[in-house]
Amino acid sequence: MVRTRGQTKKADDPDVETATVVDNKPKPKPRAKPKSKATKDDHAVPEESETNSNVKHFTVPYNDKTIPCERRGEGNAPALIWTHGAGGGLTAPATSQFTDGFSEHSPIVSFQGSMNLPSRTKMFHTVMEHQDFDLALGGRSMGARAATIAAVEQDRKTKALVLVSFPLVGGKKGESREQILLDLPDSIEVLFISGDRDSMCDLEQLREVIERMKAKCWLVTVKGADHGMSWSPAGTVAKMRQKTGAIAAEWLQKRGLDERYYQLSWARDGSAGEMVSTGWVVSLPDTSEITNGDEPQAVQGADVAEDDEPPPAKKRKRGKT
């Protein structure tokens, strides 16, 4: 069978006409374009569609593009606007499991952001403009940094921040990121959720920074958890992350001024065990007493894609000339 040059176009491409081929094979049907992809027409009115009983996907306009967003939970005004870490996304387990736990108690809107910190901060402002919300911002890792900066920059006063795995140190030289926390005004209340084996946030250093902050602070410590909020046994990680989301939602609804510390841990019983918590207490043991050999170990290499720094760009292999 002989074809001309014009007959080499793919028959399954819906945007081009199919070339006539002299044979008896049936022509493949054009593939339907996914309905979920945003187009330029989406900029006028944010499109919203429900994919299951708890998650609604929609977009908001941002410059000449759109910001993918998710809404979880019942209610009109979200209690929290939330974003993921660098290199991760809305579907990253550390992000989605937190929002699942949060949405069991309060509505939450999360958005997919740029891996550039200034751009992510601007996206916070854009999403806030399109949402009637309760003035609470948050995120994990780099997303927590962007939420903190946005809270200071915005005209409307943020009431609260929910900061998970805040990267107190980072960059090539391991510089401190404490200044943006110290710049927060005393009108903002802050909830930190951090693993005691987070390599980017030493717990003793974080508590020292909290003592110097003008903003009122609360701290949830997850014993044995790393920066990606993972621990061992791995089969309990999702439940633990969901629990941290639930704690954050309940904290936004009601928080005491005296009880500012909360600790989650895994109590071993032979090969089994259970997740236990102290509830909100006035103080926790010193950091030297927080970790011992019976507590869960951080999972090596877990959630490396959600570290504070974006993953290095892959080098493209040059084709033969």
Structure tokens at 45: 């009115």
**Is 59 within 8 Å of 42 (Cβ atoms)?**
yes
Q: Considering the chain, what is the average pLDDT of its residues?
A: 79
Looking at 30-44, 263-277, 300-314, which range is the least confident one? 30-44
Containing 95, the helix (H) or strand (E) segment is: helix 93-103
| Model confidence at 157: pLDDT above 80 | no
- Could you tell me what percent of the chain has a pLDDT over 90? 59
259/308: higher pLDDT: 259
**Is 196 within 8 Å of 222 (Cβ atoms)?**
yes
Report how far residue 101's alpha carbon sits from residue 105's, in angstroms, rounded to the nearest whole number.
Answer: 8
Q: What angle do CA 82, 97, 304 make, to 5 degrees?
A: 85
For residue 273, name the pLDDT band (cuts at 50, 70, 90). confident
Which residue in the block uniquely carries the two structure tokens 């090596």?
300
Which residue in the block uniquely carries the two structure tokens 């020292």?
208
For residue 283, name the pLDDT band (cuts at 50, 70, 90). confident
Torsion of CA 176, 90, 93, 33, to 10 degrees: -150
Report how far residue 120's alpha carbon sits from residue 26's, in angstroms, rounded to the nearest whole number.
Answer: 49
Q: What is the pLDDT of residues 73-102, one digit of tens each?
A: 988 789 999 999 997 899 999 999 999 999
Q: Helices 117-129 and 142-153 meet at what angle, rounded to 10?
A: 60
Average pLDDT over every residue of 1-25:
40
